[in-house]
Amino acid sequence: MGIVSNIVCKTVGIAGLAAVTYDAYGMAQHHSSAVAADMTADVFEKVVAAERSNSSASYTAGAMQKKVADLRMKNPIVPVYGKVKGFVEGFISTLGDNVIPIIFSSIALGAKGKIQKAGAWGVGIFGLYQVAKEGFGLGKTAPIDE
């Protein structure tokens, strides 16, 4: 019976870590797009403001400003940097939000005996809690009720 419970506990631990990783990856992708869009908008705002303000009335300076503004707007580094920054922030933030299932899953994977079983039970109970809370809305107040 010990081998079967060991396999079940390790499977529950792997499933818990897989769910957390899947969640973190999905949220990181979402956050990545949002941060890239924000950074691109900030650059656009600065470029437009700089292009609209000449320090002197000069046709040459205006033409040069337009060329520089075009180069700055076509800069591929800003959105790529924004995507990477947003992905890392989103991934780490989501992992921080999921500390409890990470701990229980790690215990179910790394410990032995009763502690391992307690970790697997912790993953299961936390999963049921999430289904009840997020799926069925138990313990949540709807925004309409506030």
Please provide the size of the chain in residues: 146
CA quadruple 55, 57, 63, 66: dihedral sign: positive
CA distance 24 to 145: 30
CA distance 60 to 58: 5
Check: CB of residue 115 under 8 Å from CB of residue 107.
yes
Query: Mean pLDDT per segment of 10 residues, for the chain of length 146 residues?
Result: 88 96 96 93 85 74 81 87 95 94 95 94 95 87 76
Q: What does pTM read for this prediction? A: 0.77
CA distance 36 to 44: 12
CA distance 32 to 84: 7
CA distance 8 to 2: 10
Domain residue extents for the chain: 2-135
CA distance 145 to 87: 34
What pLDDT score was predicted for residue 30?
A: 94
